[in-house]
Amino acid sequence: SSIKSKHSLNLICVSRLLLIHLALHYVIASVITVLSWLNKCSKKPQLQKNKHPILQPLSCLFVSIKGMSKDRMIEIRRQNCNPMTMKVTYYKKPVFIHQGYMQWLWDVDGRRYLDLFAGVATVSVGHCHPKVTAAAEQQLKKLWHTTSIYVYPTLHEYCEKLASHFPDPLKVIYLTNSGSESNDLAILMARLHTGNNDIITLRGSYHGGSPQTIGLTSNAAYKYPTMCPDVFRGPWGGSHCRDSPVQTIRECTCAQGHCMANEQYIAQLKETFATSVPNRIAAFFGEPIQGVGGAVQYPKNYLKDAYKLVRERGGICVADEVQTGFGRTGSHFWGFQGHDVIPDMVTMAKGIGNGFPMGAVVTTPEIAASFAKGLHFNTFGGNPLACAVASSVLDTIREDDTQQNSLRVGTYLMTELAKLRDKYEIIGDVRGKGLQIGVEMVRDKASRDPLPPEAMAEIFEDVKDMGVLIGKGAIYGQTFRIKPPMCITKEDVDFFMAVFDKSVRNYMERR
């Protein structure tokens, strides 16, 4: 009996050792597989000498689909989607997007693109970022929707977390669903608080497409636009005006610490106050760096001086951070901080939810108290799923050091673009901060006349066909907009530079 017991014990021990061996073998094999996958997925773009730059396929990330044909999608787009969708389809040969991951997008045929536009500066930490995706999945299992008539954790946790990113007294938060809605709400709050009606914005500005915010855009008839202090295209500017790694090519004769351009643009704002608006105004809306306007930057002290004039007229100052917020400018979390000002109200959207529909207005207790005289309710503002996603975005920005990456990679990108500006006569200006960048194209540097739309389209299409997606903007559509997910790398920049250089050279050779 004792021998049998020992024999059984030995069999059990051998079996356990065998199971441990198999488990270790499985773990080691799994680790090798994962490392191999990561190595395959991290291969850098290949730059072929004297040929089109190419992206090495990352088929490991692409999920094949058998779905609706491209022809059928276009047919539905024409028949059932609003006509504007056809007007704003970006390319002659449309891109049919199927999926995304971090800085990459794939079309329905499996072709990969380096996304340097991020759904119009909206994807902040990366397409389908694993941390944000996990937060959304976790919240979906608990609670999709309730409203602020009830008290629930995600709303309050997020509001406290977002408020911690603002200086005093900007601590009161209203959650919305978009940038247009945030600016709509800001207009209403400004008018109620001040008792005034008129709103001032800058030419070239964009603050939304709703019936009320359309009055804030650059060419609308329902507002008082003042001259945009554009130091490249405007009448005044020099080589030291901007808070940017790259300055304009215009000569500057200003003494140290003195900016003639800023003085002239502020004089124009004073002229607007003296001739075009009532003695008292409700608000001044300004983007720290213009987005749709083509990454236009103002002289360094312009917003500080403008805020002073607005407040003297009884108005409040609103910083539209829809495109510049959440670390995109690199040097600061909010664009207004780079101007050394504290606005009375801040509006935001886009990057707040990494593409999830969300927006917010942050203001002072004093302005919030004026607004509380009435009643405001938003069914979806502060939705628990939106709050969980947005909260994860804030965590991810911190954990991934996204703001610092924007500064480091953005500065590298602008410096490289400046080399192309010096190389090509049709690249007139490179500007921006962090990963909020504009490249203004011109017929020639002497005239600064905008490059014609058909020429812009040629280069734009060429860049896309070589695997990179960028944007366009400015009053004449003459500026390429580069606003990628803030996770891009220097290797991605090198690939884009090869593509952009090739595209501009192709155009120059066809002229």
- Chain centroid to CA 235: how far? 29
Domain check: are 382 and 413 in the same one? no
pLDDT-based confidence at 366, cuts 50/70/90?
A: very high
Residue 77 shares a structural domain with residue 192 = no
Other C-beta atoms lying within 10 Å of the C-beta of residue 195: 10
- Residue ending a domain, choose from 378, 399, 420: 399
* Residue 50 counted as domain residue: no
Specify if 213 maps to a domain.
yes
Residues 397-440: pLDDT tens digits? 999 999 999 999 999 999 999 999 999 999 999 999 999 999 99
Confidence of residue 20 (pLDDT cuts 50, 70, 90): low
**Position 6 in a domain:** no
- Give the pLDDT confidence score for residue 189 in this predicted structure: 93
Q: Which of 342, 374, 399 is the last residue of a domain?
A: 399
- pLDDT tens per residue across span 255-285: 887 899 999 999 999 999 999 889 999 999 9
Residue 409: inside a domain, yes or no? Answer: yes
Considering only 39-48, 351-360, 469-478, which range has the smallest mean pLDDT? 39-48
Residues 311 and 458 in one domain: no
Residues 487, 350 share a domain: no
Residues 143 and 213 in one domain: yes
**Inter-residue long-range contacts of 128-132, CB under 8 Å, 24+ positions, other chains counted:** 128/99, 128/100, 128/101, 128/102, 129/102, 129/354, 129/396, 129/487, 131/392, 131/395, 131/396, 131/399, 132/354, 132/389, 132/392, 132/393, 132/396
> Average pLDDT, stretch 338-355?
97
How many C-beta atoms surround the C-beta of residue 472 within 10 A? Answer: 19
What token pair was written down for 290?
A: 């213009």
- Return the structure tokens found at 234: 């405007």
Domain co-membership, 392 together with 415: no
Look up residue 59 and give its DSSP letter: G
CA angle, 120 as apex, 350 and 127 as ends, to 5°?
A: 70
At residue 349, what is the residue type?
A
Band of pLDDT at residue 204, cut at 50, 70 and 90? confident
In a domain, 87, yes or no: yes
Spatial separation of the C-alpha atoms in residues 420 and 249, rounded to whole Å: 13
Question: Domain end: 346, 376, 399, which one?
Answer: 399
Torsion (CA) 294, 300, 301, 306 in degrees, nearest 10: 0
pLDDT at residue 21, rounded to an integer:
53
pLDDT of residue 60: 54
Domain of residue 237 covers 131-399
Q: Which neighbouring-strand residues pair with 284?
A: 200, 317
**Shared-domain flag, residues 156 and 117:** no
Model confidence at 42, pLDDT cuts 50, 70, 90, reads very low
Residue 8 in domain: no
- How confident is residue 37, by pLDDT bands cut at 50, 70 and 90? very low
For residue 5, is pLDDT > 60? no
Residues 77 and 161 in one domain: no
Least confident segment among 20-24, 68-72, 120-124: 20-24
What is the helix, strand, coil percentage profile of the chain, to 5?
45, 15, 45
pLDDT of the residue at 222: 40
Give 449-452's long-range contacts (Cβ < 8 A, gap of 24+). 450/474, 450/476, 450/477, 450/478, 451/426, 451/478
Q: What is the pLDDT of residue 177?
A: 93
Beta carbons within 10 angstroms of residue 131's beta carbon: 16
The whole-number pLDDT of residue 35 equals: 44
Least confident of 22-36, 64-78, 143-157, 471-485: 22-36
Least confident window among 20-34, 147-161, 222-236: 20-34
For 322-398, strand residue ranges (E) read 345-348, 359-363
Lookup: tokens for 21: 């061996």
Res 221: pLDDT: 39
What's the CATH number where 207 sits?
Answer: 3.40.640.10
Mean pLDDT of the chain: 88
Are 160 and 229 part of one and the same domain? yes
Residue 13 has pLDDT above 60, yes or no: no
pLDDT grade, residue 34 (50/70/90)?
very low
What count of Cα atoms within 13 Å lies in the side-chain half-sphere of residue 350?
29
Max Cα–Cα distance, the chain, nearest Å: 111
Does residue 317 lie in a domain region?
Answer: yes
CATH number at residue 407: 3.90.1150.10
CB 89 within 8 A of CB 442: no
Task: State how many domains the chain has.
Answer: 2
- What's the mean pLDDT in 377-403? 96
Q: What is the mean pLDDT of residues 34-45?
A: 46
Under the banding of pLDDT at 50, 70 and 90, the label for residue 38 is very low
Q: What sign does the dihedral 297-298-304-309 (CA atoms) show?
A: negative
21: three-class secondary structure by DSSP: helix
Q: Identify the residue whose tokens are 């490392």.
A: 35
Look at residue 88 in the predicted model and tell me its pLDDT.
65
470 lies in the same domain as 322: no
Mean pLDDT of all residues in 303-315: 97
Q: What is the pLDDT of residues 47-99, one digit of tens each?
A: 555 567 767 666 556 677 777 888 888 888 888 887 766 666 678 888 999 99
- Lowest-pLDDT range, 191-195, 209-213, 317-321, 460-464? 209-213
In a shared domain, residues 116 and 140: no
Answer yes or no: do 231 and 357 share one domain. Answer: yes
Residue 32 has pLDDT above 50, yes or no: no
pLDDT surpassing 60 at residue 3: no
In this structure, is residue 431 part of a structural domain? yes
Percentage of the chain beyond pLDDT 70 is: 85
Spatial separation of the C-alpha atoms in residues 437 and 330, rounded to whole Å? 12
pLDDT of residue 175: 96
Mean pLDDT (whole number) for 105-120 = 93
pLDDT at position 373: 84
24 pLDDT band, cuts 50/70/90, is low
